[in-house]
C-alpha cells in the first residue's frame, strides 16, 4: 500500500484552499515540508497548479477531514486504493518537464552557492541535470552565466523540501569535523604551575624568612643583668 497521495502538491493546494487543517497536518498527509505548505498558502509556491480533491479520487473521506479539523494533533490516514499500481524505481537523473528545463541552471547556481557541501551526484538527483552542466556553472563557463539568477529549486518546483533537506543532511554527515582552533583548549596543569611573571599567582612558593643577626655579647650582658636582679 502506498503511503503518498497522488499528485501531492495538487492535493495540498486543494486542502489549503478548502479546509481548516494546519500546515503540519497537510504536510504529513502529502509528504511535504510544513514550510512548503506555508509557501503554497502564501502564494509563493505551486502557482498555476490546480487543486485536486482527494475525496473525489478516493484518497480521503469527509469524515477523516472533519476529524482532523477538530483535532490539530490528528494525522489523516490515506484510504487504501482498490487499484494496485506497482511502484517504479527511478533510474538515472530525475526527469524534468520541458517547461522547467530552462530553470535548472538557476536552481543549480542556488545549490552551489547555498549548499557547497552537496556533491555533483546529489545536485543531479535534485534537479535532473548533468555533471558537465554543474561544472560549467561552478567555474562560470556556462554559456548563460551572466544572466543566471540563483533560485531555490523547491520554489521552482524541481524538487520537494523533504528531498532537499535529506540530501543536505546526507552531505553534512559526510563532512569531516572542524579542526580545533589554536588556543581553544585549557593548558595542562604542569604548564600553568610554577610560572611567574605571566599573570599567574604562585601560591606554592614562598620567600624564605630571614633570621635576625644575633650579637653574642649583648646576649651575655642581658643574662648578667638578670642574675644581678635575682640576687
Tens place of pLDDT for every residue, the chain, 231 residues? 456 777 888 899 999 999 999 999 999 999 889 998 998 888 887 777 888 888 888 888 999 999 999 999 999 988 875 545 454 455 545 555 555 668 889 999 999 999 999 999 999 999 888 899 999 999 989 888 888 899 988 888 888 888 888 898 888 888 776 655 555 566 666 665 555 445 545 545 555 566 566 666 776 677 777 666 555
pTM for the whole structure? 0.40
- What's residue 73's pLDDT? 92
- What's residue 171's pLDDT? 87
- What's residue 158's pLDDT? 86
- What's residue 118's pLDDT? 92
Residue pair 76/68 in contact (Cβ under 8 Å)? The answer is: yes
Distance of alpha carbon 24 from alpha carbon 68, whole angstroms: 11
Distance of alpha carbon 208 from alpha carbon 205, whole angstroms: 9
Residue pair 160/154 in contact (Cβ under 8 Å)? The answer is: yes
- What's residue 198's pLDDT? 52
- What's residue 219's pLDDT? 65
- What's residue 108's pLDDT? 92
Spacing of C-alpha 188 from chain mean position: 35
Distance of alpha carbon 51 from alpha carbon 35, whole angstroms: 18
Residue pair 144/111 in contact (Cβ under 8 Å)? The answer is: no
* DSSP class of 125: H
Q: Give alpha helix (H) positions in the chain.
A: 8-18, 23-30, 34-42, 62-70, 104-114, 120-127, 131-138, 153-156, 161-174, 189-192, 216-230
Amino acid at each position: 500500500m502506498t503511503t503518498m497521495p497522488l499528485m501531492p502538491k495538487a492535493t495540498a493546494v486543494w486542502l489549503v484552499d478548502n479546509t481548516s487543517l494546519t500546515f503540519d497536518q497537510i504536510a504529513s498527509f502529502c509528504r511535504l515540508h510544513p514550510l512548503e505548505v506555508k509557501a503554497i498558502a502564501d502564494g509563493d509556491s505551486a502557482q498555476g497548479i490546480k487543486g485536486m480533491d482527494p475525496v473525489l479520487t478516493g484518497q480521503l473521506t469527509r469524515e477523516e477531514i472533519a476529524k482532523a479539523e477538530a483535532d490539530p494533533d490528528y494525522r489523516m490516514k490515506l484510504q487504501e486504493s482498490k487499484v494496485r499500481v506497482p511502484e517504479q524505481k527511478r533510474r538515472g537523473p530525475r526527469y524534468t518537464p520541458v517547461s522547467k528545463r530552462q530553470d535548472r541552471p538557476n536552481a543549480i547556481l542556488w545549490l552551489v552557492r547555498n549548499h557547497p557541501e552537496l556533491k555533483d551526484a546529489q545536485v543531479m538527483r535534485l534537479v535532473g541535470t548533468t555533471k558537465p552542466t554543474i561544472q560549467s556553472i561552478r567555474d562560470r563557463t556556462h554559456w548563460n552565466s551572466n544572466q543566471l539568477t540563483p533560485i531555490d529549486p523547491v520554489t521552482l518546483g524541481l524538487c520537494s523540501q523533504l528531498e532537499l533537506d535529506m540530501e543536505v543532511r546526507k552531505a553534512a554527515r559526510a563532512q569531516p569535523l572542524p579542526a580545533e582552533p589554536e588556543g581553544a583548549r585549557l593548558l595542562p596543569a604542569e604548564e600553568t604551575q610554577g610560572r611567574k611573571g605571566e599573570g599567574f599567582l604562585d601560591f606554592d612558593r614562598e620567600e624564605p624568612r630571614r633570621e635576625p643577626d644575633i650579637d653574642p655579647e649583648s646576649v651575655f650582658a642581658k643574662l648578667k643583668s638578670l642574675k644581678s636582679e635575682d640576687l
